[in-house]
Amino acid sequence: MGTGPGTLHGRRAIVTGAAGGIGAATARRLCEAGASVVLADLDGPATEATAAALQADGHDAHGVALDVTDDAQVAEVLASAAATLGGLDTVVANAGILRLARLEETTPELLRKCLDVNVVGTLSTVRHGVRHMPDGGAIVCTASVAGLEGAPELTAYCASKFAVVGIVQALARELAARGIRVNGVAPGLVDTPMLADFFRERARIRDTTADVVRDGLVRSVPLGRLADPTEVADTIVYLVSPQSSYVSGVTLPVLGGETA
């Protein structure tokens, strides 16, 4: 897709939820394409370690702790990132949580937690990021296949990720006058610690084993395997790169052949 070394030379990016999984893979791919990157995550020590590994490979990377549900903290961290990098022209709002529960266990508190992190946190990250973004910047928000179609035991999570898709569509239109592109990515089954937690929790709810849950879901994927986080990261890098200069308002599924 033309997103190799040097493609994003001079770009200044922040990635939330970057301590591991898709966020860490995205930070690495952005660095490898030539960008300078601030990594942010609730787990500060893990984020700093991930950034240090990138620095050891010669990349311009910086790690910082961030709770995306704290709007004042988001404003402070985004401003600090912009000062560190000399501006921000790329924002990847990736921080998120996954919660499973049957309907009778889907309490208002559980729903609010999903919405607070996945929706409020995403919007807060973008809102404060745009303040430091020149015209022509690029934003990607991480949604999910659960933001494209409903799934059992994921009511709260689906509600939050459908909202992220709506945010992408609304802001793509609102920010178009400034040439700022806003897109989303909707991963399916990605081999991350969050997915392993999902297998275990669904197994508990259904009184089975995590391996049974995993095997059944993998069989449903036409490509017959889980995605590697780098495969989602490459999609995100494409969406912020010049190669997608006429793409905005899209949430791109990364589902291994599944349809949603």
3-class state of residue 190 by DSSP = strand
Catalytic: which of 157, 162, 198, 238?
157
pLDDT of residue 258: 84
Beta-carbon contacts of 79 under 8 Å, excluding residues fewer than 6 positions away, are 128, 131, 132
d(C-alpha 59, C-alpha 207), whole Å: 46
By CB neighbour count within 10 A (0-12 exposed, 13-18 middle, 19+ buried), where does 203 fall?
Answer: middle
d(C-alpha 225, C-alpha 205), whole Å: 24
Give per-residue pLDDT as tens, 62-80: 999 999 999 999 999 999 9
d(C-alpha 249, C-alpha 229), whole Å: 23
Q: Please identify which residue in the block is written with the tokens 């370690």.
A: 49
The low-confidence residues of the chain, meaning pLDDT below 50, are 1-2
pLDDT of residue 1: 44
The reply to whether 238 belongs to the active site is: no
pLDDT of residue 212: 97
Query: Domain 12-188+233-254 class?
Result: alpha beta
pLDDT of residue 7: 86
Domain ranges of the chain: 12-188+233-254, 191-226
Residue 218, strand partner residues: none
pLDDT of residue 4: 64
